[in-house]
Amino acid sequence: MADGAVTRRSDRVLAACAAALGRSAGVRFVREATHGTIDDDAFAAYLAIEERFVRTATRVTGYLVWSSTDWPESAAHARTVGGLVGEQLDWFRRVRVRWPGGPDRLADAVARSEVLASHVLRLTTEHGAPAAVTAMFAAETLYAGWCGRASALPVERFSDLRDWIDLHAAPPFTEGVRALAASVDALPESIDDRTVIGWFRDTLLAEDGFHDSVYPLLPDPVTTIP
């Protein structure tokens, strides 16, 4: 970065991954949620897969609470856990009864969405807290970004979708993203930027697969021989 303009690790990662963030913020689910055009079946599938990932995020963030040797950092992760198991999971308990969805469609979406949880848990198992915090920083930065932009648009959305977007566009969620950025800034210099950027980008790729899972796979075209 010229003249040392970007010095914090989190800023360097975001600068290197700007194109990847833009791609992930442009997938079909994000576009339709932003513009309020998502259909009932896709939204029901999304609620099913997102509730499952919130549980994964709780597990990973709980690990960060335990693994941090810095009390303010540990306390910040603990506040995030509180928001996940409190505000967010309470929201799912209230809302999902209104969006039951078809069981086959939901089962397919859940199975295909596991690409994200599997990726984050693998990074955590193989590389510990540095990879875990980077993966969560990627996932939550993506959400804070697209939800913040969507919340500011004068678009008609049904109330449950609007509330979900607004939840990710304001505190305490945005405070949690800043806490993750601070944790990325505090990563030891023995872990180089290239490694951290790779973890971040790979998590965004997993996010893309996660979001695509709310839509049925199109059948492979059948080639006919004349």
Question: Is 87 a member of any domain?
Answer: yes
147 domain residue, yes or no: yes
Examine the pLDDT at 216 and tell me if it is beyond 50: yes
Q: How many beta carbons lie within 10 A of that of residue 70, not counting itself?
A: 11
The answer to whether position 222 is within a domain reads no
- If you search the block for the tokens 């306390």, which residue do you land on? 75
CATH number for position 160: 1.20.910.10
Report which of 93, 83, 98, 55 is spatially closest to residue 168, judged by C-alpha positions. 83
Domain presence at residue 160: yes
The answer as to whether 220 is a domain residue is no
- Sign, CA torsion 81/149/135/118: positive
Report the 3 state secondary structure along the chain. Answer: CHHHCCCCHHHHHHHHCHHHHHHHCCCHHHHHHHHCCCCHHHHHHHHHHHHHHHHHHHHHHHHHHHHCCCHHHHHHHHHHHHHHHHHHHHHHHHHHHHCCCCHHHHHHHHHHHHHHHHHHHHHHHHHCHHHHHHHHHHHHHHHHHHHHHHHCCCCCCCHHHHHHHHHCCCCCHHHHHHHHHHHHHCCCCCCCHHHHHHHHHHHHHHHHHHHHCCCCCCCCCCCCCC
Going by pLDDT thresholds of 50, 70 and 90, the confidence category of residue 1 is: very low
Average pLDDT on 188-194 reads 96
Domain residues for the domain of 33 are 2-212
Q: How many domains does the chain have?
A: 1
φ and ψ of 169, to 5 deg: -110, 5
Question: Does 72 fall in a domain?
Answer: yes
- Domain presence at residue 19: yes
How would residue 170 be classed by pLDDT, with cut points 50, 70 and 90?
A: very high
Rounded to 5°, angle at Cα 12 from 62 and 123: 35
Which pLDDT belongs to residue 223? 54
Query: What would the mean pLDDT of 121-145 be, rounded to a whole number?
Result: 98
Calpha distance 48→96 (Å, rounded): 8
Lowest mean pLDDT among 157-166, 182-191, 210-219: 210-219
Mean of pLDDT values over 50-75:
95
Structural domain contains residue 221: no
